[in-house]
Structure 1
Amino acid sequence: MFSASEALPRLAPKLDRLTRDVLFGDVWQGAALTPRERSLITIAALLPQSRPAALAFHLRRGLDNGLAAGELAEILTHLAFYVGWPAATAALEQLDAVLAEPSI
């Protein structure tokens, strides 16, 4: 389950509960969009925000939700034209790091 850090439940238990129960327990479970579509949208929204930890988390989640590494690279390449080259190339570096992580 998502946690911005180990500090989130300790320092902001309400925000941690809202993240788990409302965001991931309710919003992400809506029937109108698939988890794969939600991952696409979330990655596109996070890319220009310079939130590397959140983007890396959602790149991993995108893989878990059925996106292939090549699709993620294509998404980041496509978004470079809309959100900027530096954001996209930094995200590609994050994707590379995520793909290099050992599978559990």
Structure 2
Amino acid sequence: MSKTDFTSPRAAARAFTPRLSELVEHPLYSSVWSDPDLSPRDRSLITIASLIALGHTDELPAHLLRGMQNGLSKTELAAAITHLAFYAGFPAAISASACANATFSQDAA
């Protein structure tokens, strides 16, 4: 098994299936994320909420950090996770909260 430490599942996908990554990332970044109808901050919040609601926490750390870069605060992220508990379920919110805590603990180290 490789000892490469990938920071997100997307990094591992790039290494194993570069063509898939190219097909996903080209329209995603050149069209979806650059569309001026939503701010990067709002796009990050929507993406984070979607990942939490769907239980896709593998990519959540990268998006939490990107959300902070795009203007979200830790307080807003915590409030979003709390709000999602009532719409996506408590297990999803608890998992997201643990993921956020681990992500921001590592980020502070």
Of stretches 57-66 and 3-12 in structure 1, the one that deviates more from structure 2 is 3-12
* TM-score of the two chains, using structure 2 as the length reference: 0.82
Aligned to 2:57: 52
Q: After TM superposition, which residue ranges in structure 1, 4 or more long, deviate above 2 angstroms? A: 2-7
Distance 1:46 1:29, change over 3 A: same
Unaligned runs of 5+ in 2: 1-6
Deviation at 1:19, TM superposition (A): 3.0
1:6 and 1:62 map into 2 onto residues whose CA distance is: 18
CA contact (8 A) 1:36 1:65 kept: yes
* TM-score of the two chains, using structure 1 as the length reference: 0.86
CA contact (8 A) 1:36 1:66 kept: yes
Distance 1:3 1:25, change over 3 A: farther
Aligned to 1:11: 16
CA contact (8 A) 2:53 2:84 kept: no
Aligned to 1:85: 90
Deviation at 1:48, TM superposition (A): 2.0
Aligned to 2:3: none
Distance 1:14 1:44, change over 3 A: same
Unaligned runs of 5+ in 1: none
- Alignment RMSD, CA only? 2.0
